[in-house]
Amino acid sequence: MSDIRNFLQKKRKIELSPSSINEGNHDIDIGLYLNSYVDDELRLKLLKDPWVPSKTYDFKKDLTNGSTRVFRIEWFALYPWLSYSAVSKGPLCRVCVLFRPRVHRGVQGVFIVSPCIKYQKFNEVSKAHEISIWHKDAINASQHFLNSKERKQLSVHEQIDSAFNREIEENRVKLRSIISSILFCAKHDLPLRGKNDEGSVFTDLLQFRVESGDEVLNKHLKSGAKNALYISHEVQNELIKTCANVLRQNIIEEVKLSSVFSVLADETADISGTEQLSIGVR
């Protein structure tokens, strides 16, 4: 809350300088946007650079119901969330107007849905508004909004994307040891498994990695979801096919870059008696 207060206070001092005041610039009068939809671009402009009356502004012309007390421009320095509206003829809380808080109980009144024109008790009413749950909710919402716009905090969509990307990276790290074990078996013509998983080369390789200090793999195998360990037969086959596709594509790229190449072919029967044709490129 202190951040938004400091931000508003700093901006207020800048706005009160004579060179920054434009009496005719009522398109950023906060009173125009009571109970109205405001897009993010306009909301940011109204929050950071609202219309401010000059020190020579005639507040008497805005008086109603025979009132004699007028708004005092020094109140801006006391309440940095305060904005005066020439349209509504009184002061409003621009934070609550732009980030209309939900009604918990009771009825929202001055500063939120209408200007506070009871100037004889202005300080009392302002301080009560400042500590209200409505104002605190609006201040929090405005702080999140500013952080998002100034990239201090990611937006909701960015947070979702960030969490998704982080999960992808974590899964890649987990798969690294598993894929490396599969490639080791492939390079050395070792079967990943025998008649069962117990004592298979693949399982023993994973266990060897854990015993050698692979904490990521150890944590994954111990605490990972049973349906997402990535060591099932189906996943093994899928990883083998994926690795084969990558290897095949690399070979194709190398062949394309070569000025000449030769093709070798050899046919032989596998253990089941089925003829298999192997093709090599040199």
Domain ends where: 98, 121, 153? Answer: 153
Mean residue pLDDT of the chain comes to 83
How large a percentage of the chain has pLDDT more than 90?
Answer: 30
Task: Give the per-residue pLDDT at 84.
Answer: 94
Same domain? For 125 and 82 the reply is yes
Domain that holds residue 214: 157-281
- Number of Cβ within 10 Å of residue 278's Cβ equals 9
Residue with tokens 């808080």: 101
Task: Give the per-residue pLDDT at 240.
Answer: 92
Same domain? For 10 and 149 the reply is yes
Same domain? For 129 and 195 the reply is no
Same domain? For 127 and 257 the reply is no
Task: Give the per-residue pLDDT at 36.
Answer: 82
Same domain? For 22 and 95 the reply is yes
Higher pLDDT, 106 or 168: 168
Same domain? For 48 and 74 the reply is yes
Same domain? For 207 and 144 the reply is no
pLDDT in tens, 217-226: 988 898 888 8
Nearest to 96 by CA among 71, 122, 115: 115
Task: Give the per-residue pLDDT at 56.
Answer: 87
Distance between CA atoms of residues 268 and 278, nearest Å: 8
Residue 154's pLDDT band (cuts 50, 70, 90): low
Same domain? For 219 and 149 the reply is no
pTM above 0.85, yes or no: no
Domain ends where: 102, 121, 153? Answer: 153
Residue 104's pLDDT band (cuts 50, 70, 90): low
Residue 200's pLDDT band (cuts 50, 70, 90): confident
Same domain? For 42 and 101 the reply is yes
Same domain? For 7 and 146 the reply is yes
Nearest to 258 by CA among 246, 250, 247, 268: 250
Task: Give the per-residue pLDDT at 189.
Answer: 87
- Say whether pLDDT at 112 is over 50: yes
Same domain? For 10 and 130 the reply is yes
Contacts of 123 (CB under 8 A, 6+ apart): 78
Domain ends where: 120, 153, 186? Answer: 153
Distance between CA atoms of residues 94 and 46, nearest Å: 8
User: For the chain, how many structural domains are there in total?
Assistant: 2
The answer to whether 202 and 239 have CB atoms below 8 angstroms apart is: no
Same domain? For 221 and 246 the reply is yes
Residue 125's pLDDT band (cuts 50, 70, 90): very high
How large a percentage of the chain has pLDDT more than 70?
Answer: 85
Q: Which of 25-34, 50-59, 129-138, 241-250 has the lowest mean pLDDT?
A: 25-34
- Say whether pLDDT at 4 is over 90: no
